[in-house]
Structure 1
Amino acid sequence: MIRIHSYSGGVGSMMTAVRDAENNGTEDMLLLFTDTLIEDKDLYRFMIESAACLFDLPKPVYLLKLCGAIPDVEKDMDARRDYLTALAADAMDYIPQLHWISDSRDPWEVFRDRKWIGNSRVAQCSEELKQKLSRRWVKERYKPDEAILYFGIDWTEMHRIGGIEKGWSPYDCWFPMTEQPYLYKSDMLHGLKQYGIPAPRLYNMGFAHNNCGGFCVRGGQGHFINLLQENRELYLYHEAKELEMQQYLERTDITILTRTINKIDYPVSLRELREEWDTGLGLQTKIDLSDIGGCGCYI
């Protein structure tokens, strides 16, 4: 039986694979990484380094150095796409049980194709770049009685199990981190020390998840303010892409974020949010910094 792990690049994915390897070994284990092309450079580093560790391979120093030279999202997406294609081939050559796949589109290209901007309720990016892509890859290679699927959610996210099992039916889905010993994400990050692997830097920058370089349409106002503070250039890139999409759709009322006032939802563009923050007005009346949203890309 092949054991396929949805390997997202987060610490939960690694610790899920660690538990599985401790119980069942790694001979029949595969790691499936679906690339949105806008991940943080350090996610690629962590994903490659942790995968090599799982399969007891020497640390791939050369590949890790290449991760540091990935072109920035906000500067040249075409160059980044080509670079990641080559890096993926090199990584899979070094780690044969790692499968690094991509739709070849980034989230903004998906939004344009679907003629809608993703948000917390309709995240076409995760649907197209992760869910559909991974399901197609698995179904083309393995029948339901030939593979078990593993997901990196933990015991604090058990409400997601039903959606995952429904989406992947009739395949069996396992969730090792929902079982004892129960670990918080902080425990998992601390546990990386025993493997000599640095934690993905987005966690240290205050992001709840190591996804999409800190950009996530499921994120809330607080999430995007954190992105603005930690990587203003990247925030401005996504702000410009949102405005570009509004012009393409000829609608200014379609935004990633909304704000509820007196039980009525109002659209809030990334530009409006930034201007509120920069002028200080948002702190007084509008911006909810506790609104970080939530990730559920494999559901």
Structure 2
Amino acid sequence: MHRVIQWSGGIGSWATAELVVREHPDDEVTLLFADVLIEDSDLYLFNADASERLGIPITRVCDGRPPFELFMDRRFLGNARIAPCSRALKQLPCRRWLGDHLDPASTVLYVGLEPSELRRVPGIVDGWKPWSVEFPLLHHTSVTKDDLLDWCRASGLTPPRLYRLGFSHNNCGGLCVRGGQAHWHRTLREFPDRFQWYEQQEQRFRAEHGNVAILKRQHCGRTSPLPLQQLRAEAGMAGVHPGALVDEGDFARYMRVLGLGERPRDRRRRLAVAR
């Protein structure tokens, strides 16, 4: 049996990989990682560290577009209710790789849902058919995220820094469009340059497609868009000085300035891991 971990660079997928390797030491295991290109650079460092510890290389797939490029192509702005990036940039590249390399009859997928995410199971199981999916962490009902982070540290690994900064998930460098207002307030405090980058992209999208926004606000039973620019203004936060940013046309350099994307040294370490 071939066992495929849906590897996100988060603590749940790491813990899932550890459990699967322990339970099935003789089976082939793949760490399947869909790169959306704007992950925090520390996530890629964690990928390299964890991959070395497990002795299993990261199998990277990538659509080639960051989320906002997808939103512009689709003319639809991702938000907490509907995020096309999850399917287009993660699920579809992974599904293509699975279809090209493995047989559903002899493959099990593993997703690192934590006990607090039980409600997501039916949708994930249905969405990955004909592949079978298992959720090892759900068998440990008393385990919390703090427990997983402690386990990670006890294993000799440094957990991804977004957890230390108070983010509940280690994805999209704190720029996940599924996050609510509290999430984006945290991004504004911890990464004001990243926040402004997304604010600028959202403003460009609004200029072309009208009064839409990543966030929504409810007041007196009515829902209205809440642009990031407005959220920042209401928080009393000034924008990042333009000199702190660079020309977005050089995407790789822009990512380095914002602390996003895989650094060359982490890429070399990732590629050096062999079975």
Q: 1:59 — aligned with what?
A: none
Amino acid at match of 1:248: E
Matches for 1:153-192 after TM superposition, within 5 Å: 153-180=113-140, 182-192=142-152
* 1:260 equivalent among 200, 215, 218: 218
Deviations 1:54-74 (A, max 9, x none): 12xxxxxxxxxxxxxxxxxxx
Q: 1:33 — aligned with what?
A: 33
SS of 1:52's partner is: helix
Query: 1:279, 1:125 → 2: CA distance?
Result: 28
Relative distance call for 1:100 and 1:261 in structure 2 (3 A) is same
1:219 is aligned to 2:143: no
Deviations 1:93-149 (A, max 9, x none): xx5x42011111000000011001100111011111011111121122222102100
More contact order relative to length (CA 8 Å, sep ≥ 6): 2
* 2:190 equivalent among 226, 230, 238: 230
Structure 1 runs of 4+ with >4 Å offset: none
1:22 is aligned to 2:17: no
1:47 is aligned to 2:38: no
Query: 2:188, 2:41 → 1: CA distance?
Result: 18
Relative distance call for 1:279 and 1:134 in structure 2 (3 A) is closer
Identity %: 38
* 1:277 equivalent among 225, 235, 245: 235
Does the CA contact (< 8 Å) of 2:3 and 2:27 recur in 1? no
SS of 2:104's partner is: coil
Query: 1:30, 1:7 → 2: CA distance?
Result: 9
Query: 2:63, 2:138 → 1: CA distance?
Result: 30
Q: CA deviation at 1:180?
A: 2.8
Relative distance call for 1:11 and 1:238 in structure 2 (3 A) is same
* 1:209 equivalent among 133, 145, 169: 169
Unaligned runs of 5+ in 1: 56-94, 281-299
Q: 2:248 — aligned with what?
A: none
SS of 1:117's partner is: coil
Amino acid at match of 2:29: M
* 2:93 equivalent among 133, 140, 160: 133
Amino acid at match of 1:245: F
Deviations 1:181-216 (A, max 9, x none): 631000000111222111110001110100000001
Unaligned runs of 5+ in 2: 239-275
SS of 2:14's partner is: helix
SS of 1:278's partner is: coil
* 1:200 equivalent among 155, 160, 163: 160
**Paired residue total:** 238
Deviations 1:255-276 (A, max 9, x none): 0000011111010100000000
Query: 1:132, 1:277 → 2: CA distance?
Result: 37
Q: TM-score, normalised by structure 1?
A: 0.77
SS of 2:223's partner is: strand
SS of 1:208's partner is: coil
Q: CA deviation at 1:9?
A: 0.2
* 2:58 equivalent among 58, 83, 98: 98
RMSD: 1.4
Amino acid at match of 1:12: G
SS of 2:79's partner is: coil
